[in-house]
Structure 1
């Protein structure tokens, strides 16, 4: 199985940052997303997994181009043999962790369930934001990257950068290590799940 790692947004993407907290610290989403994506890529590669960064650039790459890159790789490997994970920090004043897939029952739902299981284990003190109306925990939306990629795709929203407690978690080295390690644990399970299907 080929794991495709996407890091959302770029250094110039408007609004994708936390407030400046009283101690002067601020989170820039492009930096956080890339830091987690880099750690995940390095850890999976070290374990022999086939892992490809979709956006190595620091600039914001348009969704259509990111989708094109994913679909080009999926066409070569077979869409059923790929999994896209797009790593983000959340915003909107909430708290907790969540994952998104495309609308309807798809293969991505099975992978997202693994994400929720591992996220709950890795962050037992944090809220898992779920939508269980359709029998699984992931949230669903018509987000561009989820709708237009040919392989299973998941967006992870790793805590809220505009809520101080969440933001301080993902600004910290410990928090980043926990987020990255959780993604690695999930993706190793996804590879095993795919192998045994």
Structure 2
């Protein structure tokens, strides 16, 4: 089973970049979206933090190397008044550059502009960034949006939007590993997904109010399934069945349009 390490930028006493968004918070939301998507496709994942705690570069790279990851990415967001996504990879190119290229393609697909692939050398001619320099496996650093650009920050101002970035990163990782949504069969998917997918649980019909400003409707429960629409009105919808995938509860819409993640709703 492939192993991917996800570093989460900043945390605890270090908020990262701050203006329209707090970087450490959206870093974590994007990382969780990436983690969940990879797990649903049979990839073993280790994440540097699951909550708001301090996390140094040395701690992250030591953890990654000890665990023996095949690929690694550190998730950040930008500042400085610019716009768009950028990704840093090793000056030596290789598989890290391929990973960066694959992720960039997926990020562009979700509507974010790209500032391109980048490298940076230190005074000794090796990689400037410790996360890339100190990891034994190919490693990259993703910068999703500029938190001090109002329009760019709006692309990551909800948990659902952050998860979209994380899922785009995950699709790029899968491509680099030679895996796709099509060839992630029941045999290669994570055990928890294979266990819950075959049957849905009937629920007493109830109504929920959507709390997210943009909530994806999917063909079936789970982020591995195709998006069939988006709810943007924060309206009230009727749920007729439930499924749990990778610890997330999903509800089937009475209209037949598809399934929504119930974490972004409240019962009414």
Distance in 1, Cα, partners of 2:67 & 2:160: 33
Distance in 2, Cα, partners of 1:53 & 1:38: 8
- Alignment-derived partner of residue 185 in structure 1: 171
**Structure 2: which 5+ runs fail to align?**
121-127, 180-268
Among residues 40, 48, 64, which one is paired with 1:46 in the alignment? 40
User: Does 1:112 pair with 2:100?
Assistant: yes
Secondary structure at the counterpart of residue 115 of structure 2: coil
Distance in 1, Cα, partners of 2:129 & 2:153: 24
Distance in 2, Cα, partners of 1:181 & 1:39: 6
8 Å contact from structure 2 (residues 61, 134) kept in 1: yes
8 Å contact from structure 1 (residues 11, 31) kept in 2: no
Secondary structure at the counterpart of residue 54 of structure 2: coil
Q: Give the greater-gyration-radius structure (CA).
A: 2
Residue 57 of structure 1 deviates from its aligned partner by: 4.7
Secondary structure at the counterpart of residue 51 of structure 1: strand
Residues paired across the two proteins, number: 171
- Alignment-derived partner of residue 164 in structure 1: 150
Q: Map 1:1-197; keep pairs closer than 5 Å.
A: 1-13=2-14, 16-19=16-19, 26-74=20-68, 82-123=70-111, 126-130=112-116, 138-141=117-120, 142-192=128-178
Kindly provide the CA deviation profile for residues 72-91 of structure 1, in whole angstroms up to 9, marking residues without a partner as x.
112xx6xxxx1001111111
Secondary structure at the counterpart of residue 9 of structure 1: coil
8 Å contact from structure 1 (residues 11, 58) kept in 2: yes
**Structure 1: which 5+ runs fail to align?**
20-25, 131-137
- Alignment-derived partner of residue 259 in structure 2: none
Distance in 2, Cα, partners of 1:94 & 1:150: 31
Which is worse superposed, 166-175 or 84-93?
166-175
Cα RMSD over matched residues?
1.7
Secondary structure at the counterpart of residue 60 of structure 1: coil
Distance in 1, Cα, partners of 2:77 & 2:27: 7
Q: Which of the pair is proportionally richer in helix?
A: 1
8 Å contact from structure 1 (residues 90, 161) kept in 2: yes
